[in-house]
Amino acid sequence: MSQAKRVLLAIETSCDETAVAILRGFDEVLAHEIYSQAEIHSEFGGVVPEVASRNHLATAPLVLDRALEKAGLRISALDAIAATTGPGLAPALLVGASIAKGLAIGASKPFLAVNHIEGHLLSPFFGQEKIPPHTAMVVSGGHTLLLDIESFGRGRLLGRTLDDAAGEAFDKGAKLLGLGYPGGVRIDELAKSGDPNRYEFPRGMAHSGDFDFSFSGLKTSLRVFLEKNRPSENDLPDICASFQAAIVDVLLEKLFRAAQSNDRQLAALSGGVSANSALRAKATTEAARLGIELKFPPAGLLTDNALMIAFAAAHRLANGMTHSVTEEISPNFSPASLFR
């Protein structure tokens, strides 16, 4: 079998999605299964690691069997097995990584430890055998990163959040507004009928001269605003739109400034927050104005999933990279882990 047509199974359990995907080569999706725990964790107002891991343990075998059945394959037919090993919630990561390692040992298959951020980073280029030079932004509940990418495994970190991630800011803002968890989607929905210019919220570090981010001040500003003004329910769409605009403006100011500073004609936005409609609309308009090509992940690869992990693993395998089953999980993010 040619290297490009190897069949990979990947498991993703870094947070509250239990996901399994099977990919042939770089573009042939044989199975793509996701079980979300969002409804379970909404009762707690956020993800509880122990609850997430218990649910992964209960559902992972079922999701795995469903993926194999959909693909019409047995474990013995796979060429390699991958799992997310970090960053993420340690108890959750352990479940998926342990299952993948056990399968790899039992079937005598190569094991690949995949960085969750790398999965997001590569997702806009799903199906491509070569990753082109570009400016990349990964925006999720736990991370906000800006990177200059030369090719697969080659690049550098330009900036990152110094406190809250963009997705975390959305969720904390939603909690202050009484919108529940996950809050980013609810803010996006309400903001569609709101006026983003009615209220002024701070654009933290928008003009700091570097590519780092800070969103904790925005959350504090919203809390103070709510305490002082006691807005009515009718004001919610305008508040959401104004709050959302503050996040979007900062993200895009830095993304496109980084692209221009590094002479990149291509930019990519990925991670769960890249599903935000205001972010996508404004990014598309601004990219067209600047003459920069803009890429997003395909539908289904915006939030956490195993297909992006399988795609990253395919690139690792094509570059001769495999890992020992003794490879430990890495709950904390390290920029060096993205690059060879």
CA distances to 115, 173, 213, 214, 243 from 221, in Å: 34, 10, 16, 13, 10
pLDDT score at 2: 46
Identical topology for domains 3-123+301-338 and 132-295 = yes
What pLDDT is attached to residue 38? 76
Q: What is the pLDDT of residues 64-111, one digit of tens each?
A: 999 999 999 999 999 999 999 999 999 999 999 999 999 999 999 999
Residue from 308, 316, 299, 321 nearest 122 by CA: 308
The first and second tokens of residue 202, run together, are 């701070």
How many residues are given for the chain? 340
pLDDT, one tens digit per residue, over 299-334 is 999 999 999 999 999 999 999 999 999 999 999 988
Every domain of the chain and the residues it spans: 3-123+301-338, 132-295
Could you tell me which residues are beta bridge partners of residue 294?
267
* pLDDT at residue number 43: 78
Q: What is the pTM of this model?
A: 0.95
Tell me: pLDDT of 3 over 90: no
Q: What is the pLDDT of residue 171?
A: 93
- pLDDT cut 70: percent of the chain above it: 99
Distance CA 164, CA 263 (A): 29
List CB contacts of 36: < 8 A, sequence separation 6 or more. Answer: 16, 17
pLDDT, mean over the chain: 95
CATH placement of domain 132-295: 3.30.420.40
Say whether pLDDT at 1 is over 50.
no
pLDDT value at residue 309: 98
pLDDT tens across 34-45, in order?
Answer: 998 877 877 777
Per residue in 196-237, pLDDT (tens digit) is: 999 999 999 998 999 999 999 999 999 999 999 999 999 999
3-state secondary structure of 112: strand
pLDDT of 220: 96
pLDDT of 337 reads: 85
Q: How many helices (H) and strands (E) does the chain have?
A: 10, 10
- Joined together, the tokens standing for residue 86 give 């970090």
* Statement: residue 270 has pLDDT above 80: yes
Percent of the chain with pLDDT over 90: 89
Q: Which CATH code of 3.30.540.10, 1.10.10.10, 3.30.420.40, 1.20.1070.10 fits the domain covering 3-123+301-338? A: 3.30.420.40
What local confidence, expressed as pLDDT, does residue 141 receive? Answer: 87
Picking from 215, 207, 131, 201, the residue whose alpha carbon sits closest to that of residue 166 is: 215
Query: 193: which DSSP letter?
Result: T
| Closest of 234, 139, 245 to residue 201, by C-alpha | 245
Cis peptide upstream of residue 87 (ω within 30 degrees of 0): yes
